[in-house]
Amino acid sequence: MKQTQPLTITGGRLVLPDTITNGAVRIADGLIAAVGDIAPQDGDEVLDARGQLIAPGLVDFGVFAVDKPAFHFGGITRAALMPDQSPPLDVPSRVRFVAQSGKPDFWVHPLAAATRSLGGTELAELGLMRDAGARGVATGRQWISDSGVMLRLLQYAAMLDMVVVCHAEDAGLAGTAAATAGEMATRLGLPSAPAEAETLAIARDIALARMAGARVHFRQVTTQASLDLIRIAKSHGAQVTAGVTPAHFMLSDLATADFRTFARLSPPLRPESDRQAVRDAIEDGTIDVISSGHDPRGPEDKRLPFADALPGMAGAETLLAMVLTLVRDEVIDMARAFDLVAGAPARLLGAAAGALCVGHEADIALINPEKPWIIDSRKMEATAGNTPFDGQPTQGRVTMLWKGGVRV
């Protein structure tokens, strides 16, 4: 499916990498041909944006399932898929299949499994999987506890120039905990783990990454102490980036008070002080990426006692609206918001997308940032509606979406 006629979108507010400005964008042959104060050319289809945002399609970094209707609803045009599939993405043939699976109206960028069967002991064939289409390597939902294996992984990935996506949670401390150790977990009687489980994992992996000269991305950094480590590592020149999902800047562990399993997440929700620390880290640039963590779980996984339910949330449809709350709260500006959900993830993947730049793929979203709606888990496009934001009024909706210049 290819673009058959050039398109110029006029009368909008362009979300550029460093500013928001009035203008237009011209799309031809599936690429962005011109941006700014431009006029349509003869033969162009012309669309009036009527003052809406003309923004790059979102790039969701680190999802566990591909729900195209949910991603399209949320303005997401490509996603990096975690290797935790059935079977895992630990051989080239599976990586190659996944890399083709969403086309033409959605692009999936597979992350290769770091170890065979994600077992944490034997390295997978990263070079072959890179050649098959992997845009990075990931440890999956688990932390690699063997430091020798982790160092070899980082050395191998550095040689291949592949980013390593880490789950930061020391398994020896975290175990099967369902909550963060503290007052709320004690009151509810939930099995808990100290927040230091995350901090220790990050400290070790930063040290090993510096030894190996590797690029490392911590998919979710959710505590004050961990964010301080990231800041220090960046100041010393380490190739470290950090991400988070909306749950950890929107919610604290108070959301678990009624045992609702939609708030059963990994890592678990943190105390209010950590939630505020995450918001501060988004504001000062310590956090580079906000992703949805899209991990839909059906009733068979969620309609259980809190400690027995599987962690995960359906996040693709709510990602944009939750990030726009940070703009309304003046934590960040609009340009920074789209760098967090589009520009930075695209750079991590090495994809020519995520920004309105000439020559980039024409993945474009038309967005009404003020459009009100209520999140309703019963009406979600995802395969399951397990969102911790169920029933929450919010603002910001995608009104039109193009993938490679073709209207979705």
pLDDT digits (tens, 9 = 90+) for 152-209: 999 999 999 999 999 999 999 998 899 999 999 999 999 999 999 999 999 999 999 9
Inside any domain, residue 35 = no
Query: Could you tell me which of 111, 114, 174, 177 has the C-alpha nearest to residue 144?
Result: 114
59: left (phi over 0), alpha (psi -120 to 50) or beta: beta
The full 3-state SS of the chain, as one line of letters, equals CCCCCCEEEEEEEEECCCCEEEEEEEEECCEEEEEECCCCCCCCEEEECCCCEEEECEEEEEECCCCHHHHHHCCEEEEEECCCCCCCCCCHHHHHHHHHHCCCCCEEEEEEECEHHHCCCCECCHHHHHHCCCCEEECCCCCCCCHHHHHHHHHHHHHHCCCEEECCCCHHHHCCCCEECCHHHHHHCCCEECCHHHHHHHHHHHHHHHHHCCCEEECCCCCHHHHHHHHHHHHCCCCEEEEECCHHHHCCHHHHCCCCHHHCCCCCCCCHHHHHHHHHHHHHCCCCEECCCECCCCHHHHCCCCCCCCCCECCCCCHHHHHHHHHHCCCCCHHHHHHHHHHHHHHHHCCCCCCCCCCCECCEEEEEEEEEEECCHHHCCCCCCCCCCCCCEEEEEEEEEEECCEEC
pLDDT of 176: 87
**Rounded Cα gap, residues 79 and 107, in angstroms:** 7
Residue 246: cis peptide before it, omega within 30 degrees of 0: no
Inside any domain, residue 341 = yes
Inside any domain, residue 11 = no
pLDDT tens-digit profile of 206-216?
Answer: 999 999 999 99
pLDDT of 6: 94
pLDDT of 197: 96
49-67: average pLDDT: 97
pLDDT at 375 over 80: yes
The confidence band for 348, taking pLDDT boundaries of 50, 70 and 90, is: very high
What are the backbone dihedrals phi and psi of residue 394, each rounded to the nearest 5 degrees, phi first?
A: -150, 180
The structural domain count of the chain equals 1
Domain range spanning residue 310?
57-355+369-395
Inside any domain, residue 277 = yes
Inside any domain, residue 290 = yes
User: To the nearest whole number, what is the mean pLDDT of the chain?
Assistant: 96
pLDDT tens-digit profile of 87-117?
Answer: 999 999 999 999 999 889 999 999 999 999 9
**Rounded Cα gap, residues 124 and 110, in angstroms:** 14
CA distances from 20 to 14, 15, 253, 275, 357 (A): 6, 5, 35, 28, 14
113 close to 83: Cβ distance less than 8 angstroms: yes
The pairing of strands 192-193 and 107-113 is: unpaired
128 close to 160: Cβ distance less than 8 angstroms: no
* Token reading at 202: 């990050």
Q: Is the pTM of this model over 0.85?
A: yes
Inside any domain, residue 45 = no
361 close to 347: Cβ distance less than 8 angstroms: no
314 close to 320: Cβ distance less than 8 angstroms: no
Inside any domain, residue 40 = no
363 close to 403: Cβ distance less than 8 angstroms: yes
310-316: average pLDDT: 94
The confidence band for 314, taking pLDDT boundaries of 50, 70 and 90, is: very high
Here the CATH number for the domain that contains residue 111 is 3.20.20.140
69-92: average pLDDT: 97
**Rounded Cα gap, residues 35 and 299, in angstroms:** 46
pLDDT of 102: 87
* CB neighbour burial string for 131-142, b if at least 16 within 10 angstroms, e if fewer: ebbbbbbbbbbb
Inside any domain, residue 12 = no
pLDDT of 387: 95
**Rounded Cα gap, residues 86 and 269, in angstroms:** 27
* Token reading at 96: 């190659």
